[in-house]
């Protein structure tokens, strides 16, 4: 369909309309998996991606560790991305690249319409279901309170990674990394391998943020020092970064006066956490969980907007791509059942709520009618513990729980149906001597 714009606009471009069963916003791993599964289920699906290529962040993650749960093989990011893309293309998923979604609104109580800006012009697209898989963004130096000069050489880890591993440019020679999550650790190794010197990885908490295997293989293998309970306070430098000021921090993560020291470097890489890109959902009126930064969802991964589903890092920041893919697939199945009219919502939802040493639980609402997979994270590291529930007889033993590792648990519908109003997720110490 084609029609001219009703009002004169700055864009001398066509305003077109499109319709589909499902629109998937975002062509990263979750979106690709969702779109492929929709197509396989016989739905007409449109995948909208703002970049000129697919795969989201995967193409620049050249390390291994992708797809182990899904494929039992250990792939690199670009390999896994190409597999997902090939599957979507082989299935004939319609893909729109260079297409930026500028607005999302719910229509008619179910489904949504989006406004898309692209070289083709401005388009309005409508679908009875929409799967939102826009991923997350990185926190920057300002968000974590780093002050001082504003020279060249301060960048997020993702920017450094794109410069290095997509565009073949070494972004710095003497580097300080803020944040010891997996992103920070992996970038430290990349810098070290490419001949840069990583002066320090600065971590504000008392323990490393990333997986132990990354601490071993990215820092210890290369002799890179980690400063725990430390923060970068200030950047110094005229044109280029010349040094950063670090200091110890107290329990409240405030700087301890008198412990400041200066580290000479030309680059500050900020790897200080990820935030779901849920802005469009929020503007459209979706309820956001302050604990995850992503939307509030039920067991179908449906947001508070009917017919709008969310998966991947916009739902919850995942550490395994496999979980993002799993969420994408569940969204596709949910979209199918909604379109076919077989989705049965309960008259009253039961709530999944975080308790002792649990930071969040996703999905937030469940019916108890079926087996449900829940994702959660612990607040602080704990050895020999279990995920347990007061309301039902289930306990999952965890030998080592840490914030870096998502705790994924599948709970049987037969157990969930017995829950009253809420199910509380708690991670507690495992009683000594108890078998499990």
The CA distance from 394 to 415, in Å, is 8
DSSP 3-state assignment of 405?
Answer: coil
Check binding of 71 to another protein (CB under 8 A): no
Please, which of residues 320-379 interact with another protein by CB under 8 A?
320
Please, which of residues 21-60 interact with another protein by CB under 8 A?
59
| Token pair of 396 as six digits | 């999952």
Site string for another protein, 302-321 (x = CB under 8 A): -----------------xx-
Rounded to a whole number of angstroms, the minimum distance from the CB of residue 68 to another protein is: 5
The CA distance from 134 to 96, in Å, is 14
Check binding of 123 to another protein (CB under 8 A): no
> Of 169 and 256, which CB lies nearer to another protein in the complex structure?
169
Among 13, 15, 62, 122, binds another protein (CB under 8 A): 62
CB atoms within 10 A of CB 64: 14
The CA distance from 1 to 316, in Å, is 37
Rounded to a whole number of angstroms, the minimum distance from the CB of residue 410 to another protein is: 16
The answer to whether the CB of 427 falls within 8 A of the CB of 383 is no
Check binding of 65 to another protein (CB under 8 A): yes
Check binding of 211 to another protein (CB under 8 A): yes
Check binding of 168 to another protein (CB under 8 A): yes
Rounded to a whole number of angstroms, the minimum distance from the CB of residue 69 to another protein is: 8
Rounded to a whole number of angstroms, the minimum distance from the CB of residue 87 to another protein is: 14
Helices 77-91 and 29-40 cross at an angle (nearest 10°) of: 30
| Token pair of 51 as six digits | 């970049």
Rounded to a whole number of angstroms, the minimum distance from the CB of residue 42 to another protein is: 30
Site string for another protein, 404-423 (x = CB under 8 A): -x------------------
Q: DSSP assignment, residue 314?
A: G
Among 107, 166, 256, 422, binds another protein (CB under 8 A): 166
The CA distance from 59 to 347, in Å, is 43
Rounded to a whole number of angstroms, the minimum distance from the CB of residue 285 to another protein is: 36
Q: DSSP assignment, residue 59?
A: G
Length of the chain, in residues: 436
- Show the DSSP H helices in 178-274 as ranges: 182-193, 212-214
Tokens 């670009």 — which residue?
Answer: 78
Cα 347–chain centre separation: 31
> Of 167 and 431, which CB lies nearer to another protein in the complex structure?
167
> Of 295 and 403, which CB lies nearer to another protein in the complex structure?
403
Sheet bearing 407-411, strands edge to edge: 358-362, 372-378, 407-411
Sign of dihedral through CA atoms 83, 89, 91, 93?
A: positive
Part of the chain binding another protein (CB under 8 A), chosen from 93-101, 208-216, 252-260, 281-289: 208-216
Rounded to a whole number of angstroms, the minimum distance from the CB of residue 401 to another protein is: 11
Rounded to a whole number of angstroms, the minimum distance from the CB of residue 211 to another protein is: 5
Among 76, 118, 124, 205, binds another protein (CB under 8 A): 76
Rounded to a whole number of angstroms, the minimum distance from the CB of residue 436 to another protein is: 13
Please, which of residues 378-407 interact with another protein by CB under 8 A?
399-400, 405
Rounded to a whole number of angstroms, the minimum distance from the CB of residue 88 to another protein is: 16
DSSP 3-state assignment of 159?
Answer: helix
Question: What Rg value do the Cα atoms of the chain yield, rounded?
Answer: 23
* Residues facing 262 on adjacent strands: 245
Check binding of 124 to another protein (CB under 8 A): no
The CA distance from 430 to 436, in Å, is 9
The CA distance from 212 to 251, in Å, is 23
* Residues facing 198 on adjacent strands: 175
Please, which of residues 216-245 interact with another protein by CB under 8 A?
216-217, 221
Interface with another protein (CB under 8 A) = 59, 62-65, 68, 74, 76, 78-79, 82, 164-168, 193-194, 211-213, 216-217, 221, 319-320, 399-400, 405
């Amino acid at each position: 369909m084609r029609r001219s714009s009703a009002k004169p606009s700055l864009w001398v471009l066509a305003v077109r309309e499109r319709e589909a069963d499902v629109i998937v916003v975002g062509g990263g791993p979750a979106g690709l998996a969702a779109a492929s599964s929709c197509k396989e289920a016989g739905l007409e699906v449109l995948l909208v991606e703002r970049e000129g290529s697919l795969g989201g962040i995967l193409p620049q993650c050249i390390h291994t560790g992708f797809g182990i749960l899904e494929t039992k093989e250990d792939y690199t990011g670009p390999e896994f991305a190409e597999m997902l893309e090939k599957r979507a293309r082989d299935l004939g998923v319609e893909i729109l690249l260079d297409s930026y979604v500028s607005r999302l609104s719910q229509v008619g109580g179910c489904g949504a319409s989006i406004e898309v800006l692209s070289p083709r012009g401005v388009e309005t697209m409508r679908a009875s279901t929409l799967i939102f898989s826009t991923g997350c963004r990185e926190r920057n130096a300002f968000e974590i309170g780093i002050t001082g000069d504003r020279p060249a050489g301060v960048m997020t880890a993702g920017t450094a990674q794109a410069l290095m591993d997509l565009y073949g440019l070494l972004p710095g020679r003497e580097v300080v990394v803020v944040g010891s999550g997996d992103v920070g650790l992996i970038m430290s190794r990349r810098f070290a391998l490419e001949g840069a010197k990583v002066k320090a990885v600065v971590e504000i908490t008392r323990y490393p943020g990333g997986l132990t295997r990354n601490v071993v293989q990215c820092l210890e293998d290369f002799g890179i020092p980690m400063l725990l309970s430390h923060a970068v306070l200030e950047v110094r430098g005229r044109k280029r970064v010349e040094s950063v000021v670090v200091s110890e921090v107290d329990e409240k993560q405030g700087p301890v006066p008198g412990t400041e020291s200066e580290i000479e470097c030309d680059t500050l890489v900020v790897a200080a956490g990820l935030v779901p890109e849920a802005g469009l959902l929020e503007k459209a009126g979706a309820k956001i969980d302050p604990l995850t930064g992503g939307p509030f969802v039920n067991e179908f991964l449906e947001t508070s907007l009917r017919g709008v589903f969310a998966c991947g890092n916009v739902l919850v920041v995942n550490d395994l791509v496999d979980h993002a893919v799993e969420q994408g697939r569940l969204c596709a199945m949910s979209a199918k059942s909604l379109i076919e009219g077989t989705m049965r919502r309960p008259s009253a939802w039961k709530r999944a709520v975080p308790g002792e040493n649990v930071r969040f639980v996703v999905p937030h609402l469940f019916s108890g009618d079926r087996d449900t997979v829940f994702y959660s994270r612990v607040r602080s590291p704990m050895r020999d513990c279990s995920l347990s529930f007061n309301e039902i007889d289930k306990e999952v033993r965890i030998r080592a729980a840490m914030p870096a590792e998502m705790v994924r648990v599948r709970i049987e519908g037969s157990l969930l149906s017995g829950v009253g109003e809420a199910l509380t997720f708690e991670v507690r110490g495992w009683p000594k001597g108890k078998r499990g």
